[in-house]
Amino acid sequence: MAKGKWKFLSIFLVLILTLAACSSGGGDEEGSSGESEEETVVDPSSFPKTVQNDEEAIEGGTLNVALVSDSAFEGTLDWQYYDGAPDAEILSYFSEPIFGYDASYRMTNDVESAAKFELNEDGTLLTVTIEDGVYWHDGEPLKAEDYAYSFEIIGHPDYDGVRYGDAIIQSIVGMEAYHNGEAETISGINVIDDKTMTIEFESANPSLLTGLWPYAAPKHYYGDVPIAELSTSEKIHTEPIGFGPFKVNNIVPGESVEFVAFEDYYGGTPNIDSIVLQVVAPEKIKKELESGGVDIATFPTDQYEPGYAPENFQLLAEMEGAYTYIGFKLGHWDAENEVAVQDRDTPLQDVALRQAIGYAMNNEAVAEEFYNNLRIPATTLMIPFFPDYHNPDLEGYYYDPEKAKQILADAGYEDINGDGFVETPEGEEFVLNFASMSGGETAEPLANFYIQNWQDVGINVQLYEGRLHEFNSFYELVGASGNDDPEIDLYQGAWGTGTDPDPYGLYSKTALFNFPRYVNEENERLLEAGNSEEALDNEYRQDIYDQWQELMIQDPPVIPTLYRYELTAVNNRVKNYTLEDGTDWGYEDIQLTSETAYQQ
């Protein structure tokens, strides 16, 4: 979807992505599939970003959308509390940010939005003005206090979500005292009247206009629920409201959501009558698309074959603000003090072992053989999605099994007993438990592929519990709720970075999303510097993030594996659908040119 109103997701918003694994095809150790490059390599830029449909639109109609997942969605349908991509996708249909965004993902007043803003000259005071004619789905007007209330929820001592770890939220004047229970209000947030409020920050921040929390919470609707109970309330799980173009009409928990057009939407009544979203397993989605059972869906890149040209739907593509990675469990989350503690008794505390794991992974083979270059080997944790800050000169970890073996040998890892696996420098045997999530037929082959890579250089790794884990349980195991399974040593996950390059919300010791529980003083210094007033100078910030990328290679808490392109399949009866950035396009603009979807 376009970024004008809809696809704003800041780094601290997203615990994503459902991991679509690689094909089960295989190949030799050098990563050759036996096919020519012309047959296997796909140019992602060859795909359009906007559907082509010159047919006359019908009035109304129902759009069928697939949420492609092998798991039921959790159903935490509130921006303050959700922590998974499936719920975020559902939220996007009925609940939107109050601000508009340009093609560079910066807040702008130049596109239609629910609110406008003004930032003072020194970058420390933001004035927010709610536009006229913006209504919640229950008919109540959107008010300035609703936006203020979202900060009151996130900062509250009883809040049990994951958003408070964001640097910008923490920098609001008076937020710390409020969060610690020392004040009943946030002194830096001032609601002037129903339409107007101000937010004061302790200092200017270069990420303010790309990373400020943009979502309001309906105070009139939530207000009678104690914040300690809000995350489990029916008002969030089965009876949610927003002010977007569609409103929730019916939810079958974990399976489907029916939306109907909201006639009082400030952007105009939607062109179609309703949207039906249902969960479809990855292995079934291609058939559903070809048969016309689904109008719009993410098309798994591991199922795309070069030359595939469906007759009844179009494929669009864009680079995702996302990467997959291998993470190392190094400590635990201290919930009382809200801080990571790197104290786990594990061989992975040895940075040499983590580096060897990095060089043992054949990401080139995964990207080329299994994804036809719709995914590409990753080098740093600052992704190319942020061209100002991604350093293309850093090689990161590449496939070099001999280098991996040499690093192990130099660090004292030897195969003493001749079983093919190295022992620690102290002579102790060890086995690392690797956790990975399910995601279609190819998820297990991908996990086994990496395990074989590591075993090939002498590192004994086994699949945790001998099986994959579905999305929701997987992230619980690796720490989404602060409970770190002590049996997991390393895991395969994925992050959506959102629109803000600031990595503070994922890797600071105060961030719950720091699942490795990595603690490093230099890391904290660089993250703070990247958020500082000095970082308003872009060259300074670039230098800071260059240093941070290098540190994450030298002392990795995680190792990025792949950057990714996303394919979106759109039935030929759909009109006015785009992935283009910097527009005010929204779901209300979609039209249909036929009562039923076209079939292959």
- Per-residue pLDDT of 170-200, as tens digits, reads 999 999 999 999 999 999 999 999 999 999 9
> Under DSSP, is residue 475 helix (H, G, I), strand (E, B) or coil?
helix
Q: Which amino acid is at 504?
A: Y
Burial classification of residue 229, based on how many CB atoms lie within 10 Å of its CB (0-12 exposed, 13-18 middle, 19 or more buried): exposed
pLDDT of 29 strictly over 60: no
415 versus 43: the higher-pLDDT residue is 415
**Alpha-carbon 490 to chain mean position:** 20
Residue 171 lies in a domain: no
Per-residue pLDDT at 333: 97
- Please state, in angstroms and rounded to a whole number, the distance separating the CA atoms of residues 196 and 200: 14
Residue 507 lies in a domain: yes
Residue 49 in tokens: 């970003």
Q: Domains in the chain: how many in total? A: 1
* Mean pLDDT along residues 583-589: 88
Residue 293 in tokens: 């059972």
Residue 7 lies in a domain: no
Stated pTM of the model: 0.82
* Mean pLDDT along residues 374-391: 94
For residue 425, the domain's CATH number is: 3.10.105.10
Candidate from 13-27, 202-216, 293-307, 526-540 with smallest mean pLDDT: 13-27
User: Going by DSSP bridges, is the β-strand pair 332-334/339-341 parallel, antiparallel, or unpaired?
Assistant: antiparallel
Return left, alpha or beta for 140; rule: phi > 0 is left, psi -120 to 50 is alpha, else beta.
Answer: beta
- The domain of 418 spans 321-565
* Mean pLDDT along residues 287-303: 95
Residue 436 lies in a domain: yes
Residue 533 lies in a domain: yes
pLDDT of 21 strictly over 60: no
Q: Which long-range contacts (CB under 8 A, 24 or more apart) does 37-42 make?
A: 39/306, 40/306, 40/368, 40/369, 40/372, 41/306, 41/368, 41/372, 41/373, 42/304, 42/306, 42/372, 42/373, 42/374
Residue 328 lies in a domain: yes
Per-residue pLDDT at 130: 98
Please, which pLDDT band fits residue 492 given cuts at 50, 70 and 90?
very high
Residue 30 lies in a domain: no
CA angle 431, 433, 434 (to 5 degrees): 130
Helix, strand, coil percent values for the chain (each to nearest 5): 30, 20, 50
Q: Which residues contact 152 (CB under 8 A, 6 or more apart)?
A: 178, 185, 186, 189
> Under DSSP, is residue 496 helix (H, G, I), strand (E, B) or coil?
strand
Residue 278 lies in a domain: no
- Please state, in angstroms and rounded to a whole number, the distance separating the CA atoms of residues 124 and 198: 10
Query: What is the DSSP secondary-structure string of 430-443?
Result: --EEEE-B--STTH
Per-residue pLDDT at 18: 36
* Mean pLDDT along residues 327-331: 98
